[in-house]
Structure 1
């Protein structure tokens, strides 16, 4: 395609804008697209040609005709490119390759220590990604974007971690720049709770526009989706409920330097510490969950109390942002209804009646996959945005 032709195809509401109509995967005829956009069919055809040249759109063979030649329909080609989603924890890496509608094609979980530092850890991710691409019969040229979730605060605008407590050597490191230097695609980085919110909503609650995801694990945090959009706040720490003061935390020191934080009384390590004081031999949250599953009354009561403490903070959240669904995830959610019962007990009794009239407080449905699903969705939303599609087209 000549530069002149491409310019006309991508100008104004160009191929990238037309592509947004096809992202839902529904096949449409050129006449339908012309009617939806108000453009001439010849203009629609020109812009579709640009998308076909990219391989993102192709013919759909099952069009129905009332007579004569069947109408030609076009649709998104989900397999045209692949996206890499990466979920880093303190001691693990979850990777998936998905197609353009978020369907997982292949995945792998491996053990690593995030404290080894950014370059060794990210080099492991790149090597694992290459292995997955090879196993799938694809190459780096098929990759259209990378989404990464990190277990610490992240300045989303730069993708750099900010004073992450369990990630020595990562503070201020240019994660997107380093990864893009190796994979040469757009790289999006966010904290793990935000991507878990994206993943859980995409997996289980796609029609819920006011959604709160709460992670209860070694730490406690939340991801806020309001009006269908993830809310990060001015500095990217919106939803950091773990360091809100709660009554039962009076005088208890938190690793953040303050006292009385929710995380200091209701996280996995905090519950384990409370049980140790009662004579139980538990090292952390995993052992607490084992006790709960075994029917230990002390452990059940401790977990339910943690739920009440979390409910104290969520009561304010419910009155402030009015979500219609709250999903509880993270490793401690494996304690099941005991944790959630404590949350419900306080939230339903303390929040405004109108705010809780249709409020659902539920266990995460995506479980351990929430973060890696969210990481891939983060990359997909960016890679298929109008600006990104225009950039791809200009490079052809």
Structure 2
């Protein structure tokens, strides 16, 4: 009987995982870095080459004889469908395995139209994009979907989402799999924004909280580099936390309210109407902020203080390295961030704030689909991806 071990695709340090950093390597370098045998690495590289998942990337220098070839990861070998469902719009993108957007479109479509209408439009666009790219549906390895409401992550079903009528308990993965027979991952939109922000702007940070301030308020929490969803998927629901009273608050100390009721876009708009300004929505607030009215700036800064009063407790509890504030209100003005900093740095314990950075989001309007793509690729590569990637090729 041969003493050689059979080729194993479940080693702790896999060839494909090493190559995903984009650096070309020779087979000898892969042997040294992976700890795998030369025969195992050779078989693995041959399989990856055969399916287009790695490609030859030139030759290394040689001290004699034929120079060894280098191989590099080919992220364009497969595709991901990434979807960001918002309250009034839907963004659908096609990405490669690195999250690079191949094609993207945003539709004016309200989530309140219901899952059949929204998912039908999403799937039509996704099929069109795959065809327009000259690719086959079989080359799609997964679909990631972000929605503006709580999700039972294990099943991908929204759970009592307040602004998503008709979506409660709806089997989103099953509906998508009627067109794309691949893994379908569904998550709350702010969790995906947290993934995207960490990937694009803070790759070395493992403790990060992303806060979205728009029509509603929610947070995505990364601890140890991993999303924290809680026992049932409701982690990060900042909007329903009561706001501690802070000095100079325009509301009485005996008027406790949830954060969303005092610091969201519609809440700020209500405050501005009390000042005689015409504002109903987050978009109205953004337009008024850009107009330079000092009353608006003061109202937004107060919303930041109220947000900071809640986040100071989060900082003491979780001790993040970075708090990122995103959403339409933060993009329009620094006053929201200023209010948050004022209270968090003043109320949280010094050890937790010593190196804490509170910053505005650096990602753009495609952050939601980038997060959805990352959700898929992280799962695909979490274990041995080759059988799945071969099956989808």
TM-score interval, normalised by the smaller of the two chains: over 0.9
CA RMSD of aligned residues (A): 2.0
Q: 2 CA distance for matches of 1:247 and 1:322?
A: 19
Mapping for residues 117-156 of structure 1, pairs under 5 Å: 117-156=114-153
1:101 counterpart = 2:98: yes
Match of residue 285, structure 1, among 282, 307, 311 = 282
Q: 2 CA distance for matches of 1:66 and 1:290?
A: 66
2:164 corresponds in structure 1 to 167
Q: 2 CA distance for matches of 1:344 and 1:395?
A: 47
1:309 counterpart = 2:312: no
Name the TM-score, length of structure 1 as normaliser. Answer: 0.92
1:157 corresponds in structure 2 to 154
Match of residue 183, structure 2, among 181, 186, 208 = 186
1:79 corresponds in structure 2 to 76
Name the TM-score, length of structure 2 as normaliser. Answer: 0.92
Residues 53-111 of structure 1 deviation map (CA, whole Å, 9 limit, x = unaligned): 33212222243323321112222111101111110001111122111111122211111
1:4 corresponds in structure 2 to none
Query: Would you say the 8 A contact 1:50–1:393 is kept in 2?
Result: no
1:212 corresponds in structure 2 to 209
SS across alignment from 1:112: coil
SS across alignment from 1:61: strand
SS across alignment from 1:213: strand
SS across alignment from 2:143: strand
Q: Report the more deviating stretch, 57-66 or 275-284.
A: 57-66
Query: Would you say the 8 A contact 1:383–1:389 is kept in 2?
Result: no
Query: Would you say the 8 A contact 2:95–2:101 is kept in 1?
Result: yes
Q: Judging changes above 3 Å, is the alpha-carbon distance between structure 1 residues 269 and 317 closer, same or farther for their aligned structure 2 residues?
A: same
Mapping for residues 269-280 of structure 1, pairs under 5 Å: 269-280=266-277
Q: Judging changes above 3 Å, is the alpha-carbon distance between structure 1 residues 62 and 104 closer, same or farther for their aligned structure 2 residues?
A: farther
Q: 2 CA distance for matches of 1:275 and 1:235?
A: 37
Q: 1 CA distance for matches of 2:282 and 2:354?
A: 33
Q: Compute the displacement of 1:278 (Å).
A: 2.0
Number of residue pairs matched?
A: 383
1:34 counterpart = 2:31: yes
2:7 corresponds in structure 1 to 9
Could you list the runs of 5+ residues in structure 1 that have no partner in the other structure?
1-6, 253-258
